Amino acid sequence: MKIPTGPGDPPRPRRRGLRPRHLLLPSLALVAGVLSTAVVPDARGYTLLGFSLDLDQRDFRVHNNFSDPSANNNQSLDDDFPGYRGAIMAIWKAHVEWQSAAHGTGDGDPTQPGGLGSGGANFDPSFQGESPTPGGIDHNVHAEISGCSGGLYAFTEQPDAGGWRIRYYSCVEWADGPDGQLDPGEIDLQGVACHQAGHAAGLGHSIDHDASMYAVVTGTGVSLRSIESDDRSGIMAIYGSAGANKPRIDQLIVIGDELTVHGEHFSPGDNQIWFTRGGPGGDGYPVKATGLSSNGTELTCVIPPEAGKGDILVRRGATAYQDLSAARPSYLAETCFQPTSYCTTTPNSVGSGAIMSSRNMPSTTEQILPLEVDGGPPNQFGIFYYGTDQIATPYGDGVRCVGGGNLGVFRLPVLNLDPFGKVGLMIDWNTYPVGGGPGEWLIGDTWNAQFWYRDPTAGTAGFNFSDALSFTICH
């Protein structure tokens, strides 16, 4: 993962020949052959490959080139895996099963409710989103590879301290299956990815039939999703048991562009917060806020602009394996606030005045903000408009509450109130107001919005205003 490789880059020299020694095998007949490649047999079931990943090799990405529709037919989001679906979510779940403690709520896999994050070792992976290419053999990327190889489903290329790559043969019918209910003939991507992630971390095959590191897939492979005591013993043998002194994230609070992490066992200085990179690309390395001081239980940083939805980890001011926390998922949106009302409405021809509201958070994750008005004159027309300033200036038959400052105000489309005096506008950020102009909604911006409407039978001016809403754009 150390050198970004794009389509135009020259091939990277390999340190050794291709050596796909870590295979998930479909039949018992081949187990002995595989076990002979394990480096350090142990009295326990597990075996070790003889290396540990460096601390800067905790990242993993997915190149989502899986060709079976069943590998990417899950379109449901999961709050513990924010922003990703399909094969990427399945592989994300596979990796965090190995982390030291529960990943968020630990939910997301019905075969182990609350149980994702079972490693108990000083080993905590960092999800780094989607890779536009399969990368090089030590770029820590999962990707499909075309073809078949006997009965082999997948393999881990050259795992060592400096990284790995995991390939999935295209002739296998891969399925993302978040409910764990696979059709006959399908093979579970999450289960097989969990097994391969164990190889990437330094584990060989186990002779324990219950272990995820057992060499043989039975059925669809769903049972491999949950690592067992022998797998935990193996990962602890490599990285040590996660002690009580390990840094821990308890809560994430985002206000505007600032993140505050509450937890335990942060160091006085030189803490780092690791983020998932937003969008595809990057080199696999986590986006980091560095050089952070702490009272031991709190860290604050400005969220780097490259950071996106995903996982957050804290590395305190030292570099042993035990100095990295378990990953905690985040939309970077924990404390988005509901829009708040301000200013005043004015009686109109039908009552005490039009009131504005919104049911959503102004979150870039939601990408939709409904603005609604009730109590207006039926069948009249009006517009929502927004701007940077809060004012209170009598105008027409009401009070104008939004000023434009240096930018002016921004008008949204003309709307008709319905026969009940209501109107709503779903603002889809994919179409409007995003667009790069001065009225674009960016994270951390505070905007104010109000509804202007015609009311010819009341007052003298023939138009009036609702009250107003103020909202701050959040992650």
Footprint on this chain of Zn ion (rule: CB under 5 A): 22, 24
* Whole-number Å distance between alpha carbons of 185 and 182: 8
Identify the bridge partners of residue 254 per DSSP, sorted by sequence position: 259
Structure tokens at 128: 């780094």
- Give min distance, CB of 48 to Zn ion, in A: 13
* Whole-number Å distance between alpha carbons of 301 and 303: 6
Residue 376 CB partners (closer than 8 Å, separation 6+): 348, 350, 354, 382, 417, 421, 422, 423, 451, 453, 455, 466
Q: Choose between 224 and 237: whose C-beta lies nearer to Zn ion.
A: 224
Q: Choose between 163 and 329: whose C-beta lies nearer to Zn ion.
A: 163
- The answer to whether 315 touches 271, Cβ cutoff 8 Å, is yes
- Give min distance, CB of 195 to Zn ion, in A: 6
- Give min distance, CB of 205 to Zn ion, in A: 6
- Give min distance, CB of 198 to Zn ion, in A: 8
User: Which residue reads 């990417």 in tokens?
Assistant: 72
* Whole-number Å distance between alpha carbons of 89 and 176: 8
- Give min distance, CB of 24 to Zn ion, in A: 4
Q: Choose between 22 and 328: whose C-beta lies nearer to Zn ion.
A: 22
- Give min distance, CB of 85 to Zn ion, in A: 26
Q: Choose between 22 and 142: whose C-beta lies nearer to Zn ion.
A: 22
Q: Choose between 206 and 363: whose C-beta lies nearer to Zn ion.
A: 206
Pairing of strands 271-277, 287-292: antiparallel
- Give min distance, CB of 155 to Zn ion, in A: 7
- The answer to whether 69 touches 84, Cβ cutoff 8 Å, is no
- Give min distance, CB of 235 to Zn ion, in A: 15
| Alpha-carbon dihedral sign for residues 117, 198, 218, 35 | negative
* Whole-number Å distance between alpha carbons of 186 and 224: 14
- The answer to whether 348 touches 364, Cβ cutoff 8 Å, is no
Q: Choose between 125 and 198: whose C-beta lies nearer to Zn ion.
A: 198
Q: Choose between 108 and 204: whose C-beta lies nearer to Zn ion.
A: 204
Q: Choose between 22 and 400: whose C-beta lies nearer to Zn ion.
A: 22
Q: Choose between 114 and 219: whose C-beta lies nearer to Zn ion.
A: 219
Structure tokens at 226: 């949950």
* Whole-number Å distance between alpha carbons of 369 and 127: 29
* In the complex, residue closest to Zn ion by CB: 24
- Give min distance, CB of 182 to Zn ion, in A: 20
Q: Choose between 25 and 327: whose C-beta lies nearer to Zn ion.
A: 25
- Give min distance, CB of 83 to Zn ion, in A: 30
- Give min distance, CB of 159 to Zn ion, in A: 11
Q: Choose between 24 and 474: whose C-beta lies nearer to Zn ion.
A: 24
Q: Choose between 98 and 274: whose C-beta lies nearer to Zn ion.
A: 98
Half-sphere exposure of 386 (CA within 13 A, CB side): 20
- Give min distance, CB of 192 to Zn ion, in A: 9
